[in-house]
Amino acid sequence: MACRLEKTVVMVGMMGAGKSAIGRALAERLGVPFLDSDAEIERAAAMSISEIFARDGESFFRRRETEVIRRLLEGAPCVLSTGGGAFLSERNRRLIAERGVSVWLDADLDLLWARVRNKDTRPLLRTDNPRETLATLQDQRVPSYAEATLRVMAEEGLSIEAMTQRVLEAIRAHEGVFTCPA
Ligand SMILES: Nc1ncnc2c1ncn2[C@@H]1O[C@H](COP(=O)(O)OP(=O)(O)O)[C@@H](O)[C@H]1O
Ligand SMILES: O=C(O)C1=C[C@@H](OP(=O)(O)O)[C@@H](O)[C@H](O)C1
Ligand SMILES: [Mg+2]
């Protein structure tokens, strides 16, 4: 009999760290649903993240983000990828700790930048110097991400499958995430 997931695995970390891609692959490996808070916010609003930021502002987005995270954590254990700003809020961190296990996907700036530079879907990076903005955000956010239960380091050249395997090993080694028959 297979092991049962007891807690929702919540991916946190910077834009481009791989939360959405690794979260999806991990859910598939575990045979549990995959949820992405950004996708849920977009679906509920019938607008893209960029449109929400432009029309209603970031603070509106953050309120929706908290509501969505709270609602998604009430369901059966699954994999939940959050947006890069979600884990900055103490309230969100508390909600996540109550029902889930948080996994910080950490990556250095060069790798993050390589992954986000050609996409214009992230409104916070629409600045005159988006690389610099990304660096500043990372510096500001690392202390919050460091509060995650687990940290898994991404590396250039590590495939989505290999990174997913690393995350799987980290959560397997952590008490209370799975129950397995004796
Ligand atoms: N381990 C990896 N190897 C190669 N590409 C990756 C890896 N992880 C993520 N990516 C790619 O990097 C980009 C950003 O990943 P994404 O999952 O959207 O990050 P996040 O949700 O953390 O912002 C996507 O194009 C994704 O396919
Ligand atoms: O870092 C952030 O504050 C944000 C990250 C984005 O998600 P990803 O981290 O999945 O790109 C998205 O939630 C929004 O653009 C804000
Ligand atoms: Mg994402």
- What interface predicted TM-score (ipTM) does this complex get? 0.99
CA distance linking residue 148 with residue 165, whole number of Å: 19
Q: Which domain holds residue 147?
A: 4-179
What local confidence, expressed as pLDDT, does residue 16 receive? Answer: 98
Q: 40 CB under 6 A from ligand 2?
A: no
Mutual angle of helices 160-172 and 19-30, in 10-degree steps: 60
Does ligand 2 lie within 6 Å of residue 13's CB atom? no
| From 10, 14, 19, 20, mutation site for ligand 1 pocket: most ligand atoms within 8 A of C-beta | 20
Please give the single-letter amino acid code of residue 67: E
Please give the helix or strand (H or E) that residue 14 lies within, else none.
Answer: none
Cβ pair 34, 28 in contact under 8 A: yes
Can you tell me the mean pLDDT for 137-161?
98
CATH code, 61 = 3.40.50.300
- Quote the CA–CA distance of 52 and 44 in Å, as a whole number: 11
Task: Tell me how many domains the chain contains.
Answer: 1
> Ligand 2: which of 40, 65, 124 to mutate, most ligand atoms within 8 Å of CB?
124
Q: pLDDT value at position 1? A: 56
